[in-house]
Amino acid sequence: MQLFTANSHQWHRQRLVINPAFSAAKLKLMTPLVNECIESFMNKLSEKCEEQQEFNIYLIYKRLTMDVICRCAFGINTNMQTDIDNEYMHKAEAVTNENFENNPLIRLSYLMPWLIPVLSYIVIGQAIFMQFLHKWKKSAEELPRFWFVNRLRHVIDARVSSDETKRRIDLLQLMLDAATPNQIKNDNNGDVMSKKLHYDEVIINVFSFMIAGYETTSTALTYCTYILATQPTIQEKLRAEIDKHQDKNESDYDRIHNMIYLDLFIREVLRMFPIVPKTVLRECNTTTTVCGYIIEKGSVIRPDMFSLHYDADLWGPDDPNLFIPERHLTPRHPMAYMPFGQGPRNCVGMRFALVELKLCLTRLLCQYIILPGDEMEQKFKVHEKYERADKYYQETLSLFDQYLPIGYPDRIRARQKIATIERFYCCKSAMALEDYEDCL
């Protein structure tokens, strides 16, 4: 189990061990590793600019953020930013492009949740079979997840047997420092909870950092660049702040930390474009009443991030549809803003991501002026999620219409209801009240 999927004591223990790896002091030590990656990114950018042609910077950001994860979390240096055919990059793409919702078994589980234990075994069995096939017949391709896990095992073995004084400081090492090959109890009945991770937990967590930190950070950088390209005044203001700090005798980490406008800018980008709005989920463990609504024990609640971030009462008096970084200088409701989630289970990599974003943007703006490309607006399309949810449920319904015997209408109707509620939440920020009542 890893942080994302662990619950209760298991999650608590893992989080206790992993939190310190992302402390300000540890991040400061990791800044040189991130800077090495930014150096390669700048070289790549300079090559691109010499071509004197419009280009899609998202693809270059993706290589940068993957490089950062590989160096800081996997402990390996690759040349993935220059080498188009880099294997790590290809496998990472394959893992992040996996769409479990397209798996018919996963779809089946949505409609018949009581089948989840059986279906999970089948899905897991499929994966193990593929891995077995690969071991037996080398020509059969190894699943990208297993490919990563196997590489990580080698890196960890090498670290554990290497000279302690020569070990580099990265996320992997910080977690290994608290790792053990022994079994760990998860309960903390009256005793202090164990502050250890099993080696397998280190591997699976490092792997999850890749999933959690690669596309999120590159997408955030892309949104930042979009705003810089479309709002030249803001770009100039940011550059002025960066220039002001250039001559100061500070470490890179302290310098970005002291740039107030840069911080406001990133906050505003993530308010308008939350990267993973559907990730924040909480299960209710005691039946409770909120604003007159009874929430049953066991219900899973997902806050509607877009409605919160665009709520005029929470973000006014300036129109929340406008990009105004200074609005973050006014104290707001603590739950009005959640691009990294909220509470003790918020994003453990938040500080890491912010350091990476800030280091990259400062280097970029020191050297370049960002201009909009002719195709930019056409390629920049924010899709309304409700369309997808709706489409997905329609597809599932038609699948079941085709394959299931009569006798499931109630369950299907219940699902339809969930689909429309989801639609309702997602439309809320975009429509007037009377419009979204039609959705229900």
The CA angle 182-185-189, to the nearest 5 degrees, is 150
Q: Which residue in 92, 175, 220, 389 binds ligand HEM (CB under 6 A)?
A: 220
Using CA atoms, how far residue 300 sits from 210, 282, 283, in Å, is 26, 6, 4
* Listed residue (197, 192, 163) closest to 180, CA to CA: 197
Q: Does 347 show up as a binding residue in the annotation?
A: yes
x-or-dash pattern for ligand HEM, window 106-145, by CB under 6 A? Answer: ----------------------------------------
- Residues touching ligand HEM, count (CB under 6 A): 25
CB of 162 to ligand HEM, least distance (A): 23
Q: Which two tokens stand for residue 65?
A: 């953020």
Q: Please state the closest distance from residue 405 (CB atom) to ligand HEM, in A.
A: 39
In sequence order, the β-bridge partners of residue 198 are 180
Shorter beta-carbon distance to ligand HEM: residue 205 or 396: 205
Binding mask 310-349 for ligand HEM (x = CB under 6 A): -----------------------------xxxx--xxxxx
Residue-level length of the chain = 440
Within 11-70, the residues that bind ligand HEM by CB under 6 A are: 15
Question: 38, 256, 353, 370: which one contacts ligand HEM (CB under 6 A)?
Answer: 353
Residue 215: phi and psi, rounded to 5, are -75, -30
Beta partners for residue 197, in sequence order: 179
Look-up: residue for tokens 């022994």? 182
Which one among 70, 212, 269, 364 touches ligand HEM, defined by CB under 6 A?
212
Residue 96 touching ligand HEM (CB under 6 A)? no
Binding-residue pattern over the window 249 to 288 for ligand HEM, x denoting contact by CB under 6 A: --------------------------xx--xx--------
The residue number whose beta carbon is nearest to ligand HEM equals 341
Phi, psi angle pair for 335, to nearest 5° = -100, 10
Three-state SS across 201-236? HHHHHHHHHHHHHHHHHHHHHHHHHHHHHHCHHHHH
Q: Which residues of 183-202 are buried (b: 16+ CB within 10 A; e: fewer)?
A: ebebeeeeeebbebbbbebb
Q: Which is nearer to ligand HEM, 42 or 280 (CB)?
A: 280
The answer to the question of residue 95 lying near ligand HEM (CB under 6 A) is no
Q: Tell me how far apart the alpha carbons of residues 45 and 252 are, in angstroms, rounded to a whole number.
A: 21
Contact 414, 429 (CB under 8 A): no
Please report, in range form, the residues annotated as the binding site for heme. Answer: 347
What is the binding site for ligand HEM (CB under 6 A)? 3-4, 15, 208-209, 212-213, 216-217, 220, 275-276, 279-280, 339-342, 345-349, 352-353
Please report, in range form, the residues annotated as the binding site. Answer: 347
